[in-house]
Structure 1
């Protein structure tokens, strides 16, 4: 079988194992631009053209290189709608929602945004300014967003470890936000609350906090898509809460796979862009073990093929993740220590430590095996070298877009 690796694939053969493949039902792919046009023409709430006026400064916050969002096509549609509302292109600033990830370089921006790259600026969280508070926590925004008359966002509604599904207000308040809201929402107190779970939107305190922060930030209009194994499946536009609810329902239908809980190993595929660094790659392990249904027996292992050309990652959050894991003597000790608190970005070390208390994680086929070993995980040259003969193995070819659920 083939599993994703970077922009390509790797052949995997496990002839001495009993192998089950978790393929979600998927769905029929749609053309992103046409789906976006339909969504903008029939939004949740008033059309974007009716929400703006000539002379308005508009900030459009888009996703960064860690999300496979067709932002060039979405911007085409949004800019056309803004023009219909009387907004000149020169009055639009596109802010790349980095959160605490590294800035995108010029080539990446051109690749992501096409002819609209000239409108783009990388977000700098250190320059964010306060616009209000949620639960006493400052909501800070990129100055271009804070000063805008109208705030618009793109986004990918896909499974998310904490928010249930990403997208909606999250693109703005985290992607174009400051450290306080990231620290608050990603801290141990929030992540330990009931309802903070992969695949859950309703009754999820993390999601609800982001939505309220989105109201403070003044998110006027969202245009989001969701995807499955076949590609982009659907688009929705308008009020950010309704957009997430609609696309999360579409995603659950397309991505859920019922599984038992007795496997010796799970082989979890990632591929580009998420396997560029260990920070993003470990999502596969946490999505497997901390979702609705952990398919592993006690002591079972998770195996993830990933290229890791950026090592642990180059942003502030990725460096904090690496520092925490590489400086720990054991996962259990690190987890207990981090229950007392940590800086933004380090939350991924916290949830990885939670998984590593119960399961070994093997990262294979990477360019950065030393980084993997530093971070309490195991590096192997191949998937075959990481799976013991005779194992019952669940293969999840697209682990970040598969929801493992109870039968």
Structure 2
């Protein structure tokens, strides 16, 4: 038997797969990558050598209203590592600057004070010179229009970001299942953009585009909108990190929102690219907490499995999903209509400006469910999982037994992806 650890919630699941059934384990090389220095040192070194911009301390000079876009509770960005170095750099250039930390929630629920403290530390959250504001995409009164996106949608972003003398952001870079990579420009769109703008950018036409896939930026219409939005918002400086499986910083990039991000994406691409090992059963995860808090987020990890699962096969998704489905629209899509062909047809006929919340996640999940059986190993309620047209299992071992029953044999090969959001699965036979 081969023992494999799977990130799950704030812990791990240890599974055993018969060696004769194990086809392969797809791991990002990030897990074995040895960082050239410690986490804080990497961030400080990136700030010392920015890509395509002057140092942050120089940009901060004479800027009284500095806004830092920070990720929310659903992202594993180590803000306790990044923020002290960024704040110190700002203070070196402008000791009296007014600093606002704008939490980029995108379409997620508002971040709580407890989550802010867990993420940034009480010292920073309660600092008298730092104001924290949680972005709410549905508050139209908080938005300002910056014109039209290349796609034709209206660009509306948080007024606080627009009114900044200096707009900067923190984030992390990993493969993203339709934006190509996370980080960089995503702090603005979807991070601090309005509901209207996010919906237009995440339209069914773009989600269906062959370039809107993991690890692809060139020709990606979603990325094109995001880059445009970051430029219009005058995002002047980013600090992005790359993490290993333990969510530790192994590299950092700072500077221009496009140039520094591209350099970071190249690094991630080299680490994360893995060749598909086609199997009838594929086990994946969403990398554990905080990315596996709900079913909505867990669709990302399913797309890694999708890229290496044989047609008609079974995807086993191990994700804690302690917050349940994570999106009522996502849940309702599959709970109220059982014909997946009808669901997909409805999505593809939906006009860009008529996109509804979570449609993109539903569209991608529907694409997967049309091709594969999905079994969830999760803390989400069994009836919720089944209402969403997936099967439920108490353990990965039980899920494998269910998969064997479904496939009608007990010797199907199994591919394991311990962290489905950390890899770019390259399958030359799939578009």
Contact 1:165 1:244 in 2 (8 A): no
**Structure 2 counterparts to residues 176-215 of structure 1, below 5 A:** 176-215=192-231
Counterpart Cα distance in 2 of 1:288 and 1:274 = 16
Match of 1:67 in 2: 75
Contact 2:283 2:305 in 1 (8 A): no
Alpha-carbon deviations, 1:348-391, whole Å to 9, x = none?
01111011100111101424222211111111111112222312
Counterpart Cα distance in 2 of 1:194 and 1:400 = 19
Match of 1:79 in 2: 87
Counterpart Cα distance in 2 of 1:8 and 1:65 = 17
* Selected match of 1:376 from 383, 389, 396: 389
* Selected match of 1:122 from 130, 134, 140: 134
Match of 2:374 in 1: 361
Counterpart Cα distance in 2 of 1:194 and 1:373 = 30
* Cα drift, residue 242 of structure 1: 1.1
Q: CA RMSD in A?
A: 1.8
Alpha-carbon deviations, 1:160-216, whole Å to 9, x = none?
011100111111221111012211221011222342111112332221220011111
Counterpart Cα distance in 2 of 1:21 and 1:173 = 34
**Structure 2 counterparts to residues 248-327 of structure 1, below 5 A:** 248-261=265-278, 263-270=279-286, 271-289=288-306, 294-313=307-326, 318-327=327-336
Determine if the alignment matches structure 1 residue 5 to structure 2 residue 13. Answer: no
Contact 1:276 1:309 in 2 (8 A): yes
The 1:22–1:194 alpha-carbon spacing in structure 2 relative to 1, beyond 3 Å, is: closer
Match of 2:111 in 1: 104
* Selected match of 2:47 from 11, 15, 40: 40
The 1:354–1:93 alpha-carbon spacing in structure 2 relative to 1, beyond 3 Å, is: same
Match of 1:332 in 2: 341
* Selected match of 1:144 from 147, 152, 160: 160
Counterpart Cα distance in 1 of 2:363 and 2:95 = 44
Unaligned runs of 5+ in 2: 405-409
Contact 2:199 2:357 in 1 (8 A): yes
* Cα drift, residue 6 of structure 1: 0.7
Match of 2:25 in 1: 21
Alpha-carbon deviations, 1:247-266, whole Å to 9, x = none?
111111112221233x0110
Contact 1:268 1:302 in 2 (8 A): yes
Contact 1:196 1:205 in 2 (8 A): yes
Contact 1:186 1:344 in 2 (8 A): no
* Cα drift, residue 300 of structure 1: 0.7
Contact 1:60 1:93 in 2 (8 A): yes
SS of 2:16 mapped into structure 1 = coil
The 1:367–1:355 alpha-carbon spacing in structure 2 relative to 1, beyond 3 Å, is: closer
SS of 2:372 mapped into structure 1 = coil
Unaligned runs of 5+ in 1: none
